[in-house]
Amino acid sequence: MSSVSFPVGLAASYALTDMGQNVEIKDTVALGDVLVVDTDRSFTGQDGHTMTPGGESSGVPGDLADRLFALDLGIDHVHVLQNTVTVRRPGGWDEGSAGAVTEVTHTFLRYYDEEE
């Protein structure tokens, strides 16, 4: 098991396998080609991040966008602003595609399997 050491006074150490939690999805709204996912976690500061497939992406918002693009649902635009993830998919959203985006967002910050 790996561990991270912190400066004296902060903590002795934490096991990396003890990290990660699910992101609570507060609401999901589909408006035509756009799906808006409202969460209980902030992924950015006050500046939003916009990503497109094959475009430049970095940091936490970029990692989330890369996972959403990897779903191969035809997503062509992801915008992350604080706790809101806005995803565009030409042709609109059905229950399965919206559910896949919600699941990826829900498990995005989990670094372990729930069975462990």
Residue 114: predicted pLDDT = 58
> What is the dotted CATH code of the domain comprising 20-107?
3.30.1370
Residue 9: predicted pLDDT = 45
Tokens coding 37: 């996912």
Residue 14: predicted pLDDT = 43
How far apart are alpha carbons 20 and 7 in whole angstroms?
A: 21
Q: Where are the domains of the chain?
A: 20-107
Residue 19: predicted pLDDT = 61
Query: Rounded to a whole number, what is the largest CA-CA distance in the chain?
Result: 54
| Local confidence pLDDT in tens for the 116 residues of the chain | 444 444 454 444 444 444 678 999 999 999 999 999 999 999 998 999 999 999 988 899 999 999 999 999 999 999 999 999 999 999 999 999 999 999 999 999 887 665 55
Alpha helices in the chain (DSSP H): 59-69, 95-107
